[in-house]
Amino acid sequence: MSATTVTSAGTAAEDTADEATRPGETNQHYDLDPEIFGLFLDPLRKYSAGLYRTDGITLAQAQVAKLHWVAEELALTEGARLLDVGCGWGSLILFMAREYAARVTGISPAGRQHEFIAARAAEFNVTDRVTTAVGRFEDVDLPARSFDAVTMLGSIVHMPDVDLAVRRARSMLRRGGRYYVSETCFRNGAARDEFDQRAGTEFVRNSIFGWGDMRPLSELVRAVEDAGFSVDDVEDLTEDYRRTIEDWLVRVADSAAAIDELRPGMAAELTRYLEVANAGWGFTTKHYALVCRNGR
């Protein structure tokens, strides 16, 4: 038995083929062999910032700490219904299903990720709590007001219409439900104007992600407020993400031969991407988490 997987906006194969040609979609990066990610990410394959608030903490410990922190920010309880938009390799939904007995739904356009999540859900004996949907958040058919929490960890950057994405997230939430969104942002509008078209930014956007817009924090706050959310908390995770990427770079270097055996040249591509990302922290970019509440 596997976790329930549904398709939307075409089959998984169709979505994967289209990703590189549609603005606002990730490209083939997320449909690479999952073993590549296993060689440089933590055991959960969490592909976003950890939480480094304890001296000597490891990458794996930082990622677990971050997931517990997100659960606390969402006030997650047993049986809570959680929607994770851009669920990646399932780190968040599988963790919340295992540790908090939440009923979780993950959305991603990358077909390989759903196969991986289904296998891990069976391994962890949480198939009855885990559902995934293949497709874009804008297109997946979900019942309104059916979730207690919605999360977007590093996924709203790939959505061209931020206002639509945030309004749709709110439409999924019951009254009092919580919305967590964390994202890398240009530190202000001037930095965006100056650095958005630089070579390093274009490399990450086109060679890694296919498309992305690192909006300043002010745009995200405006979007959530205009959608009707109340902002409960804004957390600066810039230093945590810098530490996360440093740990990823070490793991890429240690596993370079194995990574290149799976995909020649991938270790160098990952190294360039991660070095570009780390070069901008505090100068051109920041990383923030917003916790919002659907108060009405």
pLDDT in tens, 15-67: 333 333 344 445 567 778 889 999 999 999 999 999 999 999 999 999 999 99
Residue 154 has pLDDT above 60, yes or no: yes
Q: What pLDDT score was predicted for residue 192?
A: 74
Output phi, psi for 44, to 5 deg: -80, -10
Q: What pLDDT score was predicted for residue 17?
A: 31
Average pLDDT over residues 112-127: 94
Q: What pLDDT score was predicted for residue 203?
A: 67
Residue 180's nearest CA partner among 294, 273, 62 is 294
Q: 204 Cβ partners below 8 Å, 6+ apart?
A: 212, 273, 276, 277
Residue 4 has pLDDT above 90, yes or no: no
CATH of domain 20-89+134-293: 3.40.50.150
Q: 125 Cβ partners below 8 Å, 6+ apart?
A: none
Average pLDDT over residues 120-129: 97
Residue 228 has pLDDT above 90, yes or no: yes
Q: What pLDDT score was predicted for residue 240?
A: 97
> 233 near 175, Cβ under 8 Å?
no
Give the burial class of 257: count Cβ atoms within 10 A of its Cβ; 0-12 exposed, 13-18 middle, 19 or more buried: exposed
Q: Which one of 63-67, 143-147, 205-209 scores highest in mean pLDDT?
A: 63-67
Query: Which region holds residue 202: left if phi is over 0, alpha if psi is between -120 and 50, else beta?
Result: alpha
Using CA atoms, how far apart are residues 220 and 61, in angstroms rounded to an integer?
Answer: 29
Q: What pLDDT score was predicted for residue 14?
A: 30
Q: What pLDDT score was predicted for residue 189?
A: 82
Of 63-72, 106-115, 177-186, 201-210, minimum mean pLDDT range: 201-210
pLDDT tens digits along 57-100:
999 999 999 999 999 999 999 999 999 999 999 999 999 999 99
Output phi, psi for 116, to 5 deg: -65, -45
Q: What pLDDT score was predicted for residue 114?
A: 92
Give the burial class of 113: count Cβ atoms within 10 A of its Cβ; 0-12 exposed, 13-18 middle, 19 or more buried: buried
Using CA atoms, how far apart are residues 172 and 164, in angstroms rounded to an integer?
Answer: 12
Q: What pLDDT score was predicted for residue 61?
A: 98
3-state secondary structure the chain: CCCEEEECCCCHHHHHHHHHHCCCCCCHHHHCCHHHHHHHCCCCCCCCCCCCCCCCCCHHHHHHHHHHHHHHHHCCCCCCEEEEECCCCCHHHHHHHHHHCCEEEEEECCHHHHHHHHHHHHHCCCHHHEEEEECCCCCCCCCCCCEEEEEEECCHHHCCCHHHHHHHHHHHEEEEEEEEEEEEEECCHHHHHHHCCCHHHHHHHHHHHCCCCCCCHHHHHHHHHHHCCEEEEEEECHHHHHHHHHHHHHHHHHCHHHHHHHCCCHHHHHHHHHHHHHHCECCCEEEEEEEEECCC
Using CA atoms, how far apart are residues 88 and 205, in angstroms rounded to an integer?
Answer: 18
Output phi, psi for 121, to 5 deg: -60, -40
Neighbouring-strand partners of residue 281:
285
Q: What pLDDT score was predicted for residue 210?
A: 62
Which pTM value belongs to this model? Answer: 0.88
Using CA atoms, how far apart are residues 272 and 86, in angstroms rounded to an integer?
Answer: 23
pLDDT band at 8 (very low <50, low <70, confident <90, very high): very low
Average pLDDT over residues 231-249: 97
Comparing 160 with 79, the larger pLDDT belongs to 79
Token digits of residue 286: 């920041």
Summary mean pLDDT of the chain: 88
